[in-house]
Amino acid sequence: MISLISSGFQFSSAGENQRNSNYISNREPLSPTPYVELPLGSIKPSGWLGEQLRLAKEGMTGHLDELYPEVVGSRNGWLGGDGDGWERGPYWIDGLVPLAYILQDQKLIDKAKPWIEWSLKSQTTEGYFGPVPFAMEPEPEPGLQRGMREDWWPHMVMLKVLQSYYSATQDQRVIDLMTKYFRYQLKTLPEKPLGHWTNWARNRGGENLASIYWLYNITGEKFLLELAELVNKQTDPWTDWYLNRTLIAQSLSLPRTEWSSIHGVNMAMALKQPVVYYQQSKEQKYLDAVKQAFADLHEFHGQVQGMFSNDELLHGPNPTQGTELCTVVELMFSLETLIQISGDLAYADHLEKVAYNALPTQITDDYKSRQYFQQPNQIKITRQNRNFITDHDGTDLCFGILTGYPCCTTNMHQGWPKYVQNLWYATPDNGLAALVYAPSKVTAKVANGMQVQFDEQTNYPFEENIRFVFSSKQPVKFPLHLRIPSWCKQATVKINGTLYASPKGDQVIKVDRNWVKGDVVELNFPMEVRKSGWYENSVGIERGPLVYVLRIGEQWQKLNDQDQYKEYEQVLPTEPWNYALLAESVQNPDSACVVTKAAKVAPQPWTLENAPVQLKIKAKRLPQWQEYHGMTGPLAYSHSYPVSPEKVEEITLIPYGCSILRIAEFPVVK
């Protein structure tokens, strides 16, 4: 049986009261959701994605306490110490816990466990948990965030950590702690609201709200719905701001006192807040507000890799403006949340674009260093001041442990593990859904509790084919939901070698059948090369979920300021970068580009040398397009007149995520 579901909120057709019977789903009166998260550990990465988690384990995620001991070592306030007591410790554990339990790595589990145990044992009789505030605030030591220990914000991060831990272990102590803490919040928030200590808690109240609903779905305690209303009321009015459109469109004209609302990380987190509250309100405006926000971010601050500029505030669409790594991983987490609650397939398309372009470029190939800001047009990484709203001694583009600002050092780790956790979902009809694609294996319950497994064999997003091999102890009937990406004009679906359907893009195909061990489902998504339009009539080149950029040779240079934390790496170009694409080529890029695929996708494909797919396209050098303060300068020609004649050359484009230096948004010439 074939069923097609169009993009958008799906419960109008799926049934108001239908809920999955095998996994925790929304309780009434919360609206049912079209997709339900599986327990942590149900999904295992393989292929190139498994290699990313292995590299994270061997790199910064698995060893951050050794690389950054002053902050996430034994002195951390979330371990009972006198050091950092704010966000950076919980940030790290928010990525370490899912990584540890997905990999089932005992060393990583043992490394995360003290943070869990200390938090669980720290709860007071009133319900507060976490670092104890200092009786008298000490003089802060350089690099430590010792104050604001009672702030609501870092507790929101630790609540996410505890949720992940419970999902993997079912430790009842988590439920007890969260119940007592939320009673404490209900009592305390009227006197000390979310913004009492910092703006961050008021900006990011959606994180708190999501945790409240998570607990409500387990316990059904009615006071939690009352608390949710209070938290929503005290959170910044994102729904109103998004609907009246002034916040994003006029961001840089806001008074400086209101700039936290256009901070890129705050914006990335807040994009899910209206939809999270929609579960309780059930008002369409909350869904509409987020759609409008994404449209406005694209129009006023959008960049080709799926991000919006934020260095650290929203800063327009110029491809030389930066995007913070924290914003990348937080936007991914928001998109993952939006997919589950709304079922809108646009969010799945967007999630793949961010994960497969913006995320890998900003972390080194060995996962031992990171970049604070990235630029779509990034021609040189040096220590110098650039046109960023926030500048950190000129190190914002440099790779290092603490270049730019340390928040990304601890927050980057949630990116790939939480992406793995959201490759597969349970569905209200007791089936399974694959909505974003990557090599993986899922083990889950379907139908009336039968455990089944799908082995997803693919080199996607570099290749068009995805193969699902099914196994179970006995035959079972259930539906498998498969997303057809919006960029795919027409896919093919085969079952056991026989054509089953040829669906068009931007929908879910539901395959409802009797499954037996050894069944194979094959998806093929033909990937055409296409163009997209950006700043000052520049053009991006895309194929499938990947953006393709000019391949520029790199010369890496290590610099050291006699302090391991000031060690950073600059990257200089060894080849010309100032190319423009020919107008005749971008008119029909699919026929103008020659696509070359590697014979084999390397375990770590996100490198300059291992780029699995390359495109060849015609271009011309623009001698008048020169460097300006370490960036691409303004284009010194008019679109109304031809440029001085230069010879036509064939240039090589590689996936954005494989690049460090690049041109991603190209000028176009005749």
Read off the DSSP letter of residue 190.
Answer: T
What confidence score (pLDDT) does residue 256 get?
A: 65
The pLDDT tens digits for 277-327 are 999 999 999 999 999 999 999 999 999 999 999 999 999 999 999 999 999
Residues 6+ apart with CB under 8 A from 591: none
424-458+465-524, what's its fold?
Immunoglobulin-like (2.60.40)
pLDDT at 4 over 70: no
Residue 560 confidence class, pLDDT cut points 50, 70, 90: confident
If one counts every other C-beta atom within 10 angstroms of the C-beta of residue 447, the result is 17
Residue 51 confidence class, pLDDT cut points 50, 70, 90: very high
Is 580 exposed, middle or buried, given 0-12, 13-18 or 19+ CB atoms closer than 10 A? buried
Buried b (16+ CB within 10 A) or exposed e, 242-281: bbeeebbeebeeeeeeebbbbbbbbbbbbbbbbbbbbbbb
pLDDT at 485 over 70: yes
Instruction: Locate the DSSP E strands across 326-449.
Output: 370-371, 373-374, 399-400, 424-426, 432-434, 440-446
What confidence score (pLDDT) does residue 195 get?
A: 94
* Nearest CA-CA partner of 91 in 521, 339, 410: 410
Distance CA 27, CA 33 (A): 10
Q: How much is the average pLDDT of 595-599?
A: 96
What confidence score (pLDDT) does residue 147 get?
A: 84
What confidence score (pLDDT) does residue 15 get?
A: 42
Residue 2 confidence class, pLDDT cut points 50, 70, 90: low
Residue 141 confidence class, pLDDT cut points 50, 70, 90: confident
What confidence score (pLDDT) does residue 670 get?
A: 84
Collapse the DSSP code of 571 into the 3-class scheme (helix H, G, I; strand E, B; otherwise coil) and give the result. Answer: strand
The pLDDT tens digits for 343-396 are 999 999 999 999 999 999 999 999 999 999 999 999 999 999 999 999 898 999
If one counts every other C-beta atom within 10 angstroms of the C-beta of residue 353, the result is 24
Residue 566 confidence class, pLDDT cut points 50, 70, 90: low
Instruction: Parse the chain into domains and list their residue ranges.
Output: 39-134+145-199, 424-458+465-524, 529-669
Distance CA 360, CA 658 (A): 7
Distance CA 156, CA 206 (A): 9
CA R_g for the chain: 24
Ranges 12-21, 48-57, 64-73: which has the least confidence: 12-21
The pLDDT tens digits for 169-190 are 999 999 999 999 999 999 999 9
For the chain, give the mean pLDDT. Answer: 94
Q: Beta strands 476-484 and 465-472: pairing type?
A: unpaired
Report the DSSP beta bridge partners of residue 467. 457, 522
Distance CA 621, CA 271 (A): 40
The pLDDT tens digits for 7-20 are 444 443 334 468 99
